[in-house]
Structure 1
Amino acid sequence: MAPRAPLIVIPARLGSTRLPGKALADIGGRPMIARVWERACAAGLAPVAVATDSVEIAEVIRAGGGTVAMTSGAHACGSDRIGEAVAALDPDRRHDAIVNLQGDNPFLPDGALAAALGLLDDLAADIGTLATQAAPEEADDPNAVKLVGTQIGPNRMRALYFTRARAPHGDGPLYKHVGVYAFRRASFERYVALPPSALELRERLEQLRALEAGMRIDAAVLDKAAPSVDTERDLAALRAAAREQEKQ
């Protein structure tokens, strides 16, 4: 059965390797994590919580009336952090799908979360995610993660691999992964019980743990997607985008 009672959890920490403190970076007068939380709530799909080990992040979300699950600072990736949070937030397992919305995409397009969850209508899919066609300047950028997959329907792909390298080789479009994961509850619990995998550690991409374990990840291909924030350049671009929105 397709999931009907999802829970959206946003993992957030201050100790980002590439851009420390980015969760609280100011974007148009609002901390980035607050903007991500607001976008998730505005989607109207499910309850939303933030999972963090940071008191500062927790204070920002609680000040806006949001739910926070405090977690350990030792987690290897966002989904592992969410695993601890979900055990506290939903011990009775009322939610049959868990959405990992990464905390560095404050301008996620309307309908994106629903598109990821909608992929789970296919009972063969363990995880739903998102992708968009990569821009030319993103092809060789290791911060723009590429999804290598095969098309299985209109605007739908089955993921075969994710990489920071330019892939696949040859002519044709490249697809950039967008940091959203919609898990079936059973698939999520299986995932977080697994140890980090060899390719996950090598590429520093948590989704490879699922693929190495034989789990199926499908991706909805969006017409466009706002950039995530991995570098100071990304942060400057999002601040410029926020200024443009304010003018409209």
Structure 2
Amino acid sequence: MHADSKAPDFLVVIPARLGSTRLPRKPLADIGGKPMVIRVAERAKQSLAQGVVVATDSPEIQAACDEHRIECLLTSENHHTGTERIAEVAQLLKLPNNALVVNVQGDEPLIPPELINQVARTLAEHEQCAISTVAVPIADIAEINNPNVVKVVLNRSGEALYFSRAPIPFVRDAQSSAKTIHLRHLGIYGYRANFLQAYTRLEPAPPEQAEALEQLRALWNGYSIAVHTALEASPAGVDIQEDLERVRKLLGRP
């Protein structure tokens, strides 16, 4: 039996905003004849999710979803984060408090469906946690020291103690370095629906503002985050034009 045949009921929501700065109109970028957001949704549909919904502020993105028969909800233009947009979807769909929602980024056309299942399963298995996410071990010193690579430190139960752009844990003694495992955080999240509603009322937290890491708002306010440690990173998402060309080569073939 496939390991992923046992997954809890969950919904995938893909936040897709048209106003991307680094790569203009990114969700509608063509990859092998389909907009990127459609590629992401089709990938998510290969998971065990009960449904896949794109959440957007753009009628253009909604039209693309309609054309490809992907469910799409038009949400407010005033959201500052993807989490706020997903919270509106949970409200619009009247999801029960204990419903599980997996946030798949709209620029991850190569995301493994098994990873989506694992995020939902991790949250279901950690009943005391409001959020789940994923990390992978890293050993490259340049990566550990790179502020664009977010690191996470876990407790013995596999829950996040802290996320940082700094190299955490900091290795003070060179002899300890061989025993120290550094973990890179991957930006996929599972949420309980009642947390999503609570999140919209939380003020931004000082460490969140310092690090520019939204997940620190949850930790600062006492919510627990379960972290699944994967063996290897999923293929990189699309941030810039070079990323788009790489993905087009992989997915653009008939």
TM-score of the alignment, normalized to the shorter chain, above 0.5: yes
**What residue number does 1:115 align with?**
118
Verify the 8 A CA contact 1:6 1:99 in the aligned structure 2. Answer: yes
Verify the 8 A CA contact 2:8 2:121 in the aligned structure 1. Answer: no
Give the AA of the match of 1:18. Answer: R
Given candidates 91, 95, 100, the residue that maps to 2:94 is: 91
Is residue 69 of structure 1 aligned with residue 73 of structure 2?
A: yes
Given candidates 40, 64, 80, the residue that maps to 1:36 is: 40
Give the AA of the match of 1:218. Answer: A
| Percent of aligned pairs sharing the same letter | 38
Verify the 8 A CA contact 1:143 1:230 in the aligned structure 2. Answer: no
Is residue 106 of structure 1 aligned with residue 109 of structure 2?
A: yes
**What residue number does 1:211 align with?**
219
Structure 1 position 58, deviation (Å) = 1.3
Give the AA of the match of 1:57. Answer: I
Length-normalised TM-score, structure 2: 0.83
**What residue number does 1:168 align with?**
169
**What residue number does 1:235 align with?**
244
Structure 1 position 71, deviation (Å) = 1.2
Q: 1:26-64 CA distances to partner (integer Å, 9 max, x unpaired)? A: 333332211111111111322111111012211221111
Q: Give the stretch that moved more between structures: 164-173 or 204-213.
A: 164-173
Give the AA of the match of 1:222. Answer: A
Given candidates 178, 183, 193, the residue that maps to 2:191 is: 183
Whole-angstrom CA distance in 2 between matches of 1:150 and 1:94:
27
Verify the 8 A CA contact 2:133 2:189 in the aligned structure 1. Answer: yes
Whole-angstrom CA distance in 1 between matches of 2:26 and 2:217:
25
Unaligned runs of 5+ in 1: none
Verify the 8 A CA contact 1:41 1:48 in the aligned structure 2. Answer: yes
How well do the aligned residues superpose, as a CA RMSD in angstroms?
A: 2.4
**What residue number does 1:7 align with?**
11
Length-normalised TM-score, structure 1: 0.84
**What residue number does 2:150 align with?**
145
Is residue 158 of structure 1 aligned with residue 162 of structure 2?
A: no
Verify the 8 A CA contact 1:5 1:95 in the aligned structure 2. Answer: no
Q: Give the stretch that moved more between structures: 219-228 or 19-28.
A: 19-28
Q: Secondary structure in 2 aligned to 1:39?
A: helix
Cα 1:228/1:149, change in 2 over 3 Å: farther
Unaligned runs of 5+ in 2: 1-6, 172-176
In the alignment of these two chains, the number of paired residues is 238
Given candidates 45, 48, 72, the residue that maps to 2:49 is: 45
Q: Secondary structure in 1 aligned to 2:46?
A: helix
The 5-angstrom pairing of residues 191-206 of structure 1 reads 191-206=199-214
Q: 1:192-220 CA distances to partner (integer Å, 9 max, x unpaired)? A: 22122222233332211111111110111
Structure 1 position 66, deviation (Å) = 1.2
Q: Give the stretch that moved more between structures: 127-136 or 7-16.
A: 127-136
Q: 1:58-104 CA distances to partner (integer Å, 9 max, x unpaired)? A: 1221111111111112211100011112211x226387112211112
Cα 1:158/1:93, change in 2 over 3 Å: closer
Q: Secondary structure in 1 aligned to 2:199?
A: helix
Is residue 56 of structure 1 aligned with residue 57 of structure 2?
A: no
Verify the 8 A CA contact 1:132 1:222 in the aligned structure 2. Answer: yes
User: Which one has a bigger Cα radius of gyration?
Assistant: 2
